[in-house]
Amino acid sequence: MSVLVAVLAIIVAGLYVLIALVVVPRLAGVASAGERSKAITAAAVGAATFLLGCSVTHFVIAYRELDTHSHSVDDLGDLLGHVIPHILQIMGGVTFLVVARRRLKVFVVRTDDSARVAELEGRLGHVLDAGHLGVWEVDLRDGHCWHSAQHDRILGHDEPQPDWSYDRMIDQVVPDHRDLVRSALDLTADRQFAEMDCQIETPDGRRRWITITASLVFDDTGRAIRVVGSVADTTERHERDVQRANLEDQLHTWQRTEAVGRLASGVAHDFNNVLGVVAGWAELLERDDSLSEHARMQVASIRRAADHGRTLTQQLRSVSRHQADPPQPVDVNEVVANVAEMIERLIPTTIRVHRDLAAHIPLVSIGPTEMTQVVLNLAINARDAMPAGGELTLRTHTAGDLVIVEVTDTGTGMDDATLQRIFEPFFTTKSATADSGTGLGLSICQTIVQRAGGTIRARSTVGEGTTFSVELVSVPAGSALVNS
C-alpha cells in the first residue's frame, strides 16, 4: 500500500508541475501584454507558489511512503490520510484557477476580443471611406510608414501599396507644387500642424486636387515620435470654386457691358440728333434750284451718309436696350456677302474665305441686324478655331421651304461632350485670355434664330472642323409680314 500511495503522490506532484509549466507562462504573457498587468502578475505568482508547494508536499509524501523503515503502515489510514488530501488539493487548485479566471477576466485565448477589434477597425474604415478621407502615419524613430486603403485609392492606386513611403507621396505631387508641399510639411515644435491644398498626378496620368494635413505626436518627455496626417480628394470642390470664380468674372463682365451699353445708348441718342440736323439741312439744300448738278450730287452723298449714320445709331440703341430687331424680308445672300467682305479684313492671310451662294434664293423673315450678327458671330468663331490657318466657307442653299446658311471651318473641331454644351450661356471653348469673350455668342445666336422661328445646329469632328447650319423658313413671295 505504501508503494501505491507513493506512486499516486508522484503522479499528483507531476500534474502540479505540468499545470505550473503550462498556466503560469500564459498568465505572465498576458500580463506582459499590458492587460490588467498587476492583478494578473499577482495571480501568476500565487498560482506558481500554490502549485510548487503542492508538488514539494507530494514529493515529500512519496519519499516518506517509500521509506518503510521509518514508520508503520496502516492501509485505511494511508488511504484516508494521504489519498483523500491529494484529491482535495487538486480540487482546491482547480477552484483557485477557475475563480481567478472569472474574477480577473483573464482569457488566455482572446478570440472574442480580436473579433471585436476587427469589427471596430472595419467600422472606422467605413467612416473614413464615406468621408473620402485617407490617413497615414510615419514613425520618426524607425521610419516605419502606415497608411489606410482609402489613402491609396485617393492617390490613384487600385491595389494596396505595401512599399508606400512619405517620399513616394511627395513624388506624386505635380512639380509646381512639390517644393511648397515639402516646406509646409516640415513640422517643428513651434509649428506642429500643417494643412495645404496641392495637385497630384495619378499613375494613369489624371490630375487631382487633394488636401494634406500633418501633425506631430510627442511622447511623455516632449520628444517628437510620430507624424500623423490625412489626405482628402478635393477635386470636385476645387472645380466648383473655379467655376464660381469664372461665373463671378462673367457677371462682372456682363455688368460692365451693361454699363457700356447704357452709355452707348445715350451717346447714340445725342449723335442721332446731330445727324438728324445734318440730314435735314442736306435735304433742304437738295431743293435749292441754284445748285449745280455736281453740288447737288455732293449734297445727296451727305444726306445718304447721314441717313446711314442714323440707321447705325438706331441699331446701337436697339442692341443696348436689348430690344429685338423688327423682322422683315431679308436676302440672306446679301447678308452673307457683306459679312464675307467684313471678315476678310479681320482674318489673317493664312485663312482663305470661300463663298458658295445659291442663286434665286427666297427671302426670310428676320431682323436684318440680327441676321448679320448671327453670321458674323459664326464666322468669327470659325476664324478662332483655325489659329494655324485653314479654309472658311460661307454657303447658302434651300431644302424644301427652308433657307439654310452654313458656316464651315477646317479647324480643331469639337468632341461630342463639347457639342452638347456649346449653346449654354457662358460656356466657351476658348482659353481664359483677355479676348476670349464671355461665352454668350452662340447662346445669343440661338435665341435670335429661335425667335425668328428657325433652328441652329452644329456638327463637328475633332481635327477636321465644324459646320454650323442656320435653318430659316422662307417667306412666300408677296406675303405680308406680321411683327412677332
Q: Render 77-115 in DSSP notation, one character per residue.
A: HHIIIIIHHHHHHHHHHHHHHHHHHHHHT--SS-HHHHH
CA distance 332 to 403: 8
Helix (H) or strand (E) holding 399: strand 390-399
pLDDT for 483 equals 36
- Indicate the pLDDT class of residue 98, thresholds 50, 70 and 90: low
- Indicate the pLDDT class of residue 370, thresholds 50, 70 and 90: confident
Q: Which of 161, 176, 245 is nearest to 209 (CA)?
A: 176
Q: Is the pLDDT of residue 51 over 70?
A: no
pLDDT for 465 equals 94
Farthest CA pair distance, the chain: 176
Calculate ∠ Cα 405-409-411, nearest 5°. Answer: 155
Per residue in 341-364, pLDDT (tens digit) is 878 877 888 999 999 999 989 999
Q: Is the pLDDT of residue 409 over 90?
A: yes
Question: What phi, psi does 73 have (nearest 5°)?
Answer: -120, 130
Kind of pairing between the strands at 390-399 and 364-366: unpaired
Per residue in 279-299, pLDDT (tens digit) is 888 888 888 888 888 888 888
- Indicate the pLDDT class of residue 34, thresholds 50, 70 and 90: very low
Give the residue-averaged pLDDT of 296-303.
Answer: 87
The neighbour count for residue 250, using CB atoms within 10 Å, is: 17
Question: What phi, psi does 372 have (nearest 5°)?
Answer: -60, -40
Q: Which of 15, 13, 16 is nearest to 61 (CA)?
A: 13
Packed helices 2-32 and 37-66: angle between N→C axes, nearest 10 degrees: 170
Q: Is the pLDDT of residue 418 over 80?
A: yes
Q: Confirm if 449 and 431 have CB atoms less than 8 A apart.
A: no
Q: What is the dihedral of CA 239, 244, 246, 251, to 10 degrees?
A: 170
Give the residue-averaged pLDDT of 125-148.
Answer: 78
> How many helices (H) and strands (E) in the chain?
14, 12
pLDDT for 107 equals 45
pTM of the predicted model as reported, rounded to 2 decimal places: 0.41
pLDDT for 106 equals 46
Kind of pairing between the strands at 455-461 and 402-409: unpaired
Give the residue-averaged pLDDT of 381-403.
Answer: 93
Q: Confirm if 332 and 392 have CB atoms less than 8 A apart.
A: no
DSSP letter at 474 equals B
Give the residue-averaged pLDDT of 203-214.
Answer: 89
Domains and CATH numbers, the chain: 2-109 (no CATH), 132-233 (3.30.450.20), 325-473 (3.30.565.10)
- Indicate the pLDDT class of residue 164, thresholds 50, 70 and 90: confident
Q: Which residues, at least 6 apart from 151, have a Cβ–Cβ distance to it below 8 Å?
A: 134, 135, 136, 164, 231
Helix (H, G, I), strand (E, B) or coil at 461: strand
